[in-house]
Amino acid sequence: MAREVGKQVVTRGDRADWTRVDGIQGASLDLLSARFGSRHYAPHTHDEFAIGVCVDGMETMRYRGERLYSAAGSVLVIEPGETHTGGPAGPDGYAYLALYPSVELLSGITGTVETHFQEPVIRDPRLAEALRLAHRALWLGEYPLEGETRLLEMLGALTRRHAAKVPRAAMGIQPDARRIAQTVTTRLADELVDPPTLAEVAADLEMSRYQLLRAFRNAMGMPPYAWLAQHRVSRARGLIDAGHRPAEAATLVGFADQAHLTRWFRRVLGVTPGVYRKSVLGDAHPRPASSQGKQQCGPGRSQNGGIYTAPAARTV
């Protein structure tokens, strides 16, 4: 039974829908619409910023060594490369909308090479509403100019009002740990299918395995094996975007089989590779449907309980 939260139609259960909009400042932008009652994200990172708004319930996560809570109406900003988890804070679950702008997109708005946010959970009702409206306009795709305008104005307000005044290096990560982690992640990414052992990496860095693990955790918030798994998911996602089937992608990025890919894909992205592939590469969807005189916010009604159902990729 659907119920209305603000202007979003949500239902109980677990569901995550993705879509992609092309042509935003010459690049693509991924959007997520999700409701989770029980699912918890494994520790993972994003190559882009993750900017979301909680529209119902409350989310909890581990981020930068702290336990955070994001209630309905809160804006959440996760920086690229920052390890985080995510899950419901209570039995009622939570619903949220998120978009993933690249570093280049945000830099083009701010005019600076790097943009950082010291406070990940932001309580700013005007910004939350601007984010919700931008997400809705982009997702529906009815008026591309409106969607792009709302996105850029929202990102401008976010950085103008909430960007950090100090560089990220001053926020608690040891410089040596950052350098060590960069070396390790580069090697793991380069040797994705046949990665080195912990002992081999430690020997090359002339340090013990314990020292390596401690430095890596300080910088990344997870051990190397977990970083490798979520990076494989990221690479597999790119292959699926390019048209590969999940089984092919699993082999190409070093997972033992499709089952291993599916397990980690769900832990990191909240959906199976097959559902994600259908969301991003599927056929065009119908326009939003009406139900008992009420206009839904998403393109069509979700069959098993999401805020929006997933449209195919579009060009702005």
Instruction: Write out pLDDT tens, residues 103-119.
Output: 988 887 777 777 889 89
Q: Same domain, yes or no, for 197 and 267? A: yes
Q: Same domain, yes or no, for 308 and 177? A: no
Q: Same domain, yes or no, for 292 and 161? A: yes
Quote the CA–CA distance of 255 and 229 in Å, as a whole number.
8
Instruction: Please tell me the predicted confidence (pLDDT) of residue 129.
Output: 97
Q: Same domain, yes or no, for 109 and 200? A: no
CATH number reported for the structural domain that contains residue 194 in this entry? 1.10.10.60
Instruction: Please tell me the predicted confidence (pLDDT) of residue 86.
Output: 95
State the Cα angle at 78 between 197 and 259, rounded to 5°. 45
Quote the CA–CA distance of 11 and 228 in Å, as a whole number.
34
Q: Same domain, yes or no, for 62 and 203? A: no
Higher pLDDT, 3 or 125: 125
DSSP 303: S
Residue-wise DSSP of 202-230? HHHTTS-HHHHHHHHHHHHSS-HHHHHHH
The region, left, alpha or beta by phi > 0 then psi within -120 to 50, assigned to residue 199 is alpha
**pLDDT grade for 279, boundaries at 50, 70 and 90:** confident
pLDDT in tens, 235-269: 999 999 999 999 999 999 999 999 999 999 998 88
Q: Same domain, yes or no, for 96 and 203? A: no
Quote the CA–CA distance of 157 and 159 in Å, as a whole number.
6
Q: Same domain, yes or no, for 136 and 218? A: no
Q: Same domain, yes or no, for 132 and 13? A: yes
Q: How many distinct structural domains can be found in the chain?
A: 2
DSSP 73: T
> pTM above 0.75?
no
Averaged confidence pLDDT in the chain: 82
Q: Same domain, yes or no, for 45 and 191? A: no
State the Cα angle at 223 between 221 and 229, rounded to 5°. 105
Q: Are 300 and 285 in contact (CB under 8 A)?
A: yes
Q: Same domain, yes or no, for 21 and 142? A: yes
Quote the CA–CA distance of 201 and 180 in Å, as a whole number.
10
Instruction: Give residues with Cβ within 8 angstroms of 71, minimum separation 6.
Output: 54, 57, 58
**pLDDT grade for 149, boundaries at 50, 70 and 90:** confident
Q: Please say if the pLDDT value at position 1 is more than 60.
A: no
User: What is the residue range of 182's domain?
Assistant: 172-276
Q: Same domain, yes or no, for 10 and 139? A: yes
Q: Same domain, yes or no, for 129 and 205? A: no
CATH number reported for the structural domain that contains residue 63 in this entry? 2.60.120.10
